[in-house]
Amino acid sequence: MPAVAAPTPALPPLAPFLHDIVVTRRDSVRAREYTARGAIKILGDVEVEVGTVHDALSVGGRLTATRFSSERLLEVAGPVRVTEKLQLAGVTILEAGVEAGEFQARGAVRIGKDLIVREHLTTSGRLEVGGSVKATTIDFRGRVAIGGALEARIVDGRIVGPSRIGRIKAETVGIRTGKLFGGRPMLVVDRIEAATVDLEATEVEFVRAPTIRLGRDAHVVRFEGNVVHRHTTAHVGPESHSPRPHGLSR
């Protein structure tokens, strides 16, 4: 008679509350509410309903939460899944992919793989994503480096430093520069597909849109659609090709 494998033991219920302070090292965390103050290192997974990081937290495994916020430093080696709101400030390094209901970040964020947001994505500062980014609406301010595609219903960006995005697909795309800038595009994109495209200080290899507006320092090499507005500093064609900006790094 073949041996029957023993059933996997059930995980214990979530602790009601867990508070780490000063310098703490744990194997894992499972709690309904978790707060971290000081330099905290978790070797394995973190599973919480509500988590708050006031200082520094390093997670060696995955992070799973209903709501999670970090105020200064968060590092996670495994996947991150937050079903409602993920709110970040300071420096954030997430080595794997991220899924969130809502994503809000201020400061420097680096994500190794895809960033998938069910509703709104808002960033201010620096955002670097190794894979693709998807959300319902995307609003970014600062510098971005997206290795894959950026997809949303609405993409609204204000660029304040050298940036790069592989591809943008949306209904409405609006890119503006956050400061006076002349002569050289600040954002480089391979391809944009949308219903309406409004660009400033952006260089695009190919744009497909029924309505295209080219503001100051915009450069489109090739396009399909109608250019309904063209600033005197904007141009179309391959006559001026800007070098790609380097990707962001912490």
Question: What pLDDT, on the 0 to 100 scale, is given for residue 171?
Answer: 98
Question: What pLDDT, on the 0 to 100 scale, is given for residue 13?
Answer: 77
Question: What pLDDT, on the 0 to 100 scale, is given for residue 209?
Answer: 98
Please tell me whether residues 166 and 237 are part of one structural domain.
yes
Taking the complete model, does pTM exceed 0.85, yes or no?
yes
Please tell me whether residues 34 and 110 are part of one structural domain.
yes
Please tell me whether residues 122 and 178 are part of one structural domain.
no
- Structural domain harbouring 182: 156-242
Please tell me whether residues 112 and 192 are part of one structural domain.
no
Please tell me whether residues 129 and 160 are part of one structural domain.
no
Number of domains in the chain: 2
Per-residue pLDDT of the chain (250 residues; tens, 9 = 90+): 566 565 666 666 777 899 998 888 999 999 999 999 999 999 999 999 999 999 999 999 999 999 999 999 999 999 999 999 999 999 999 999 999 999 999 999 999 999 999 999 999 999 999 999 999 999 999 999 999 999 999 999 999 999 999 999 999 999 998 765 455 679 999 999 999 999 999 999 999 999 999 999 999 999 999 999 999 999 999 864 444 445 544 3
Please tell me whether residues 117 and 170 are part of one structural domain.
no
Select from 49, 45, 67, 66 the least CA-distant residue to 57: 45
Question: What pLDDT, on the 0 to 100 scale, is given for residue 114?
Answer: 98
Has residue 1 been placed in a domain?
no
Please tell me whether residues 193 and 129 are part of one structural domain.
no
Has residue 6 been placed in a domain?
no
Has residue 9 been placed in a domain?
no
Has residue 222 been placed in a domain?
yes
Please tell me whether residues 164 and 130 are part of one structural domain.
no
Question: What pLDDT, on the 0 to 100 scale, is given for residue 236?
Answer: 95
Please tell me whether residues 125 and 188 are part of one structural domain.
no
Question: What pLDDT, on the 0 to 100 scale, is given for residue 248?
Answer: 47
Question: What pLDDT, on the 0 to 100 scale, is given for residue 4?
Answer: 57
Please tell me whether residues 43 and 129 are part of one structural domain.
yes
Has residue 144 been placed in a domain?
no
Please tell me whether residues 37 and 82 are part of one structural domain.
yes
Has residue 249 been placed in a domain?
no
Please tell me whether residues 178 and 129 are part of one structural domain.
no
Last residue of a domain, one of 135, 169, 190: 135
